[in-house]
Structure 1
Amino acid sequence: MSSEIFVSHAVRDKPLADALVDLLQLGLNMNSERIFCSSLEGLGIPSGANFVDHIKSEIQSPKAVIALISPNYLASQFCLCELGATWAMSHQMFPLLIPPLKYSDVQGVMTALQLTKVNHKDDLNQLRDQLQTVLSSKGAPTARWENKRDKFLNGLPSILDALPQPLLIPAAEHEKVKRDYKDAKATIGELEDHLEQRDALITQLSAAKDKVEVARIKTAHSSTSDTLRTLEKNLAKKLKELPRVVAFLVFKELGQREPIKLDASSAKEFLTEVQSAAEGKLVQIDDEGLCSLVSVHPKIKRIEEAYQPLRKFLDGDVQDLAEAFEDEYDTLLALDNREYWEARLDPRIRPIGD
């Protein structure tokens, strides 16, 4: 027949198990026969008995299993087997968290279990009350329990300091190492990609035959070029949603910052398309014939949202990119340059009727 209380602990934690059993015996007025603790004299394995068989017998039907969850406990395969058996048999379990372990260190092992801190007075009081309920025991008077509890807590720091520690990495530290390793691999991968790109650039430049081809290759391998192309494609996509006359007005108003004035010399086709855009509320025409974009129109809003990042980018330090662009296209990289708009943003950017 197994004992009522099974103390599951690592052999290296024997001094701690000894102190806890003393607290249970003296503070709860409990007979030694009711407690099984494998490493303690008189409470453990009888002389001549098979160790494993006796442990298996004792863990069959205790009323309570007290597990001393310490670094040594987590490092012991035998202790984890006892823990697994306790779960499998649905025994009433009382896990005691032993410093320096924290809740975060045992979340994977102790999922859904209420942990009791062995160095907290209130937690020990709760353990006492729960054990009395499970064992249907009245226990020792409260004053006696508090006296023994306080002596246990006072002596606990020196006991814990003297316990041998396993080579165990806390879960949080292990996760940090894993994250650092993953980040390092990603960085190395990026550097290798960069080196491959540089090697490809050198190879292509060595084979280039003229200045225009060199400029094209430099642009293709430039990170700033990637940014520029992304911004240009975003604006070009929005421009294609507009009638060509409105796209031209976008170039004049945002790029060249010049108003367009309708007069008798304006081409008939241009006047017709402007009037159609005005009827669609994309542009407005004042009494003097000046045309302007209707900024509250959703399509015009999207144009301005795409235009501003491109302007901000080109207002920055893009000298090398501009030189490569000018060598390739034989024109200026500038938002007030119609040839730039036609080449990279919208080929429709030209006066209608020309």
Structure 2
Amino acid sequence: MAKKIDIFISHSGKDKQIVDNFIDLILHGALSVPISKIFCTSTDGTKIKSGTDWRNSILDALQTAKINFLIISPNYKESEVCMNEMGAGWVTSAEVIPMIIEPINYKTVGVIQEPIQIEKLLDEKSLDRVRDILQEKLNIPTSEIKSDRWTAKKKEFVIKTKNYIKDNEFKKPLDRDEFDELIQEKEEFETTLTKLIEEKSELENLVEELKNVKDKSEIDSIVRKYSDTSDFEEFEALTKKLDEALTSFHPIIVGIIFKTYAYKDINIEALAYREQLDEALANDFINEDMEANFGKTRKMQKLELLLEELSSFMQKDLPSDFEEQFEQEYEDAPFSMDNKLFWEDVLGQTLYFS
């Protein structure tokens, strides 16, 4: 047969010290409620007996208790077991007394009860009202509740518990938007971490394969195998950079650059562009023989490097699908940097020779 319980205390195990203070100083210390009549899962003398099914013990205590205390803190709100006890407490015949601890307030408490019926655990007037309920429900004679003792124990409880909470602050509760944002950040972090792990594995495989290569063509093939960028995408990125560098020059100067780079025997007759030629000559972009002066200035050196970078790429052993993409994108242009159509169609340049 289940032991008769007068008081059931629903609380979070993380708030053990607070509940211990409540039992020792208020229930037992000030009101002389026997420890054996109190059910509390975390306090010595009131715990579930070893070997007992805890769910049955809680159910029995709920059904027999005359008063159900709900010690509602942020820890309580985060506990599924506590929230289940809260719901179960309302369907019993016992007097249910929710007691909140800041930062929990009347709006966030989350119980089906009018605010006037919810008490604050660390408020002296609330504790006075709780004393009156206990005295009535448990038939405690007025003679056993000494006014001086009650006042002293009540103040001791409030001071002691407030000091404990000050030293052991509750974690700040998250609102829904903050929670959703953290979940999203967590998912993004996990995605990034997974990608980094995969990239690390690919790099390790790449290093192992490169250890066994015998010539440059094998290196190019292996690098392409592990690259996230396709050959055609890399080609277009190189042509775009070269296009941007050439666009800063007048078409007559681009014509001279093409002639020089492609070693074409083209006669430059550009009297109509005397001003542009003189400007390029003054800036050392060309020389008096109407040739590009690649080694004279940083701008021309950078241009030559871009030309060589694209040329080196085009000399690689490119796969057949690259050729198909090139022909589809540039129908008439040959795949050669020594050809004027390549500069016009692929690099997007206008070249003047006269």
TM-score, normalised with respect to structure 1: 0.46
Larger Rg: 2
